[in-house]
Amino acid sequence: MTATTTAPPVGGPTTGTTRKPGGVPTRFLPVIATFVVFVATFGVGSVRYEGFASGQVVANLFIDNAFLIVLAVGMTFVILTGGIDLSVGSVVALSTMIAAAMLRSGWPAWLTVLAVLAAGSVLGLAMGWVIHRFGVQPFIVTLAGMFLARGLCFVISVESVSIKDATFRDLATGTVELPGGVTITYGVVIALAAVLAAVYVLHLTRFGRTVYAVGGSESSARLMGLATGRVKIGVYVISGFCSALAGLLFSLYMLSGYSLHAVGMELDAIAAVVVGGSLLSGGVGFVIGSVVGVLVLGTIQTLISFEGTLSSWWTKIVIGALLLAFIVLQRVIVRRT
């Protein structure tokens, strides 16, 4: 008589999926907690400050954080596999520099966009290949990618490069009217399109199901015959692409390229993903949770701006405390399951 083993199902998180009768799956609890925090912080602002609860304030959360939303989308793919990408902030800066330099040289806007997206994707491909081929820790490889991208920024120019291209400026200043007199920018539309695309890929494609399987147990996924190598490389390509796209949105937001843009933004992206409910160990998390995580960070910053008497560094202090609280919450949930 031979013993048989049952492989974990592909198509969702492989940890933290238990639930009590009549309750919700435990993997949803961090996302729900994030949403509760968002509602609570926004509610505090609505009670404390006049005009805080307006629709335009909500729209401004998306306008001011469109690039971070896209960055968090790419980071979610990487963290779901149990990896990390420290290069994303530097790739954002490099993307702004490439875009500004090419536009200054007279390149058409559409070709500049393609070049920026290709550069980010190729850098992600290179890092993913090294991680998979040589078994190097993602932390080390992406740290090297961070230094490389930031160094290339200074090779292009040590000074800020203004973007004067008419197409870019039209996109930067253009708005989309919503009901109630609320307006959003084209950057928000692009960011939301990226979110929808990521949700589709993660939950309705074989690639996405394999991402969850690799994060849950790479050895089990390999035994099931899944293309773990291609997926591990692919998530870094996606992260590089999203970083480049975030860089383009940031260049629209700032209308300039600068070597010191987005310093520390990789930490903001990681914080948003973790606060949004994704486990750093991989296998559990949702893109929507990452988006809500970005909104939580944006709401905290908006609260401090409305207060007017607090230093902007309080944003980092509150985010740090919130991040620690969510990490503890995740550990409690994992231990119980």
At residue 185, φ and ψ (nearest 5 deg) are -95, 170
Q: What does pTM read for this prediction? A: 0.91
Q: Can you say how many angstroms the Cα of residue 251 is from the centroid of all Cα atoms in its chain?
A: 17
Domains of the chain (ranges; CATH) run 55-336 (1.10.3470)
Q: Can you say how many angstroms the Cα of residue 70 is from the centroid of all Cα atoms in its chain?
A: 5
Q: How far apart, in whole angstroms, are the C-alpha atoms of residue 269 and residue 71?
A: 6
pLDDT of the residue at 18: 55
Angle, vertex CA 80, rays to CA 228 and CA 218, nearest 5: 35
SS3 call for 160: coil
Mean pLDDT, rounded, of the chain: 89
pLDDT digits (tens, 9 = 90+) for 260-283: 999 999 999 999 999 998 988 899
Q: How far apart, in whole angstroms, are the C-alpha atoms of residue 313 and residue 83?
A: 29
SS3 call for 257: strand
- For the chain, the straight-line distance linking the first and the last C-alpha, in angstroms and rounded, comes to 31
Range in 6-15, 29-38, 145-154 the model is least confident about:
6-15
Q: Indicate the pLDDT class of residue 27, thresholds 50, 70 and 90.
A: confident
SS3 call for 63: helix
